[in-house]
């Protein structure tokens, strides 16, 4: 099993943006998404330690830890557990899947089982676990 952590606030996969140049439409991924997927890929590459990519089906478990807003009351901060706001869990999984393409597996279509947990905590980050099925 492969396990690694990406430090910092989790970033979800952004929607593609459309621009026109010379009368032609062009779709592109927002820079914030590209940068975060690169951070995920870097953390995964370090964790892989030159191990071969997973060849078959895999299980993906992601735990996203978000900072507790300082504007909340002390009582609400102590009770904070589950993060139910934005970003959506499925968009977080998309960012992780795309970030791991070509590093941990050939393509994220190999993910046969996926689970996302969104919680509040003191240290924001993303913990990723990949296991062969």
State pTM to two decimals: 0.86
Given a cut of 50, the residues of the chain with pLDDT beneath it are: none
pLDDT at 29: 79
pLDDT at 26: 85
pLDDT at 99: 94
Cα separation values, 51 from 4, 6, 46, Å:
14, 19, 10
Superfamily classification of domain 2-132: Holliday junction resolvase RusA (3.30.1330.70)
| Residue ranges covered by each domain of the chain | 2-132
pLDDT at 62: 97
């Amino acid at each position: 099993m492969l396990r690694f952590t990406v430090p910092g606030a989790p970033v979800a996969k952004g929607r593609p943006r459309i621009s026109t140049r010379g009368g032609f439409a062009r779709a592109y991924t927002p820079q914030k998404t590209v940068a975060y997927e690169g951070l995920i890929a870097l953390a995964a590459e370090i964790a892989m330690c030159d191990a071969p990519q997973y060849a078959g089906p895999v299980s993906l478990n992601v735990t996203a830890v978000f900072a507790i807003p300082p504007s909340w009351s002390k009582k609400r901060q102590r009770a904070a557990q589950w993060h139910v706001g934005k970003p959506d869990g499925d968009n977080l999984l998309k960012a992780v899947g795309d970030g791991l393409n070509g590093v941990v597996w050939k393509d994220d279509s190999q993910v046969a089982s996926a689970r996302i947990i969104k919680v509040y905590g003191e240290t924001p980050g993303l913990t990723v676990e990949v296991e062969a099925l």
